[in-house]
């Protein structure tokens, strides 16, 4: 019985690992395994001694908690994992895409962003990790000065690769 409950939780939780398109199937499997657990525990269980009663009580509590957990996950607000990428793409259309070499971690990205934000003509800087591109948004009334951008990036030890087309 404990196996069917554990299997139910693991199968249902697997959708969180970018398998959201299979969520309905995981729901059916989770409730199927929970139903099998209830059937084995409440219909087919045989109690013969005190030790078995304790085991049966533990299994019932675990099964009820697993059911509550699965129902809670169903009720909680479901959002697709890729919802944020659309928002980022809209923001990036307003900037100049530049490529920078020598980035090895998130701190490098923040270091470059902070250095670019120090320039008076820069309004905002976004980083697209998927394409490894910085998007530099210039303030109104200023022009994009590639030499100043290049100097700011190379001054802190990174390689400016130029505008991305």
Average pLDDT, consecutive stretches of 10 residues, N- to C-terminus, the chain (165 residues): 57 57 76 83 70 78 84 68 49 75 90 94 91 91 91 94 88
In a domain, 62, yes or no: yes
Instruction: Give 105: exposed, middle or buried? Use CB within 10 Å, 0-12, 13-18, 19+.
Output: exposed
∠ CA 140-142-146 to the nearest 5 degrees?
A: 130
Residues 26 and 64 in one domain: yes
Question: Residue 41: its pLDDT value, please?
Answer: 78
The two structure tokens encoding residue 63: 């099964």
CA 145 – CA 147 distance, rounded (Å)? 6
Q: Is the pTM of this model over 0.85?
A: no
Number of folded domains in the chain? Answer: 2
Residues 155 and 92 in one domain: yes
Residues 16 and 48 in one domain: yes
Taking the C-alpha atoms of 64, 66, 71 and 77 in order, what is their torsion angle to the nearest 10 degrees?
Answer: 140
Question: Residue 88: its pLDDT value, please?
Answer: 44
């Amino acid at each position: 019985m404990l196996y069917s409950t554990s299997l139910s939780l693991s199968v249902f939780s697997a959708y969180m690992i970018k398998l959201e398109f299979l969520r309905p199937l995981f729901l059916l499997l989770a409730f199927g395994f929970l139903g099998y657990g209830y059937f084995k525990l409440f219909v087919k269980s045989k109690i013969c001694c005190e030790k078995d009663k304790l085991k049966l009580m533990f299994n019932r509590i675990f099964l009820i908690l697993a059911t509550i957990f699965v129902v809670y996950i169903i009720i909680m607000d479901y959002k697709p994992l890729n919802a944020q990428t659309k928002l980022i793409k809209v923001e990036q259309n307003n900037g100049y895409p530049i490529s920078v070499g020598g980035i090895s971690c998130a701190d490098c990205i923040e270091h470059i962003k902070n250095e670019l934000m120090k320039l008076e003509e820069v309004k905002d800087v976004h980083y697209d990790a998927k394409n490894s591109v910085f998007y530099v948004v210039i303030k109104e009334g200023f022009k994009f000065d590639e030499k100043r951008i290049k100097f700011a990036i190379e001054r802190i030890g990174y390689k400016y690769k130029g505008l991305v087309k």
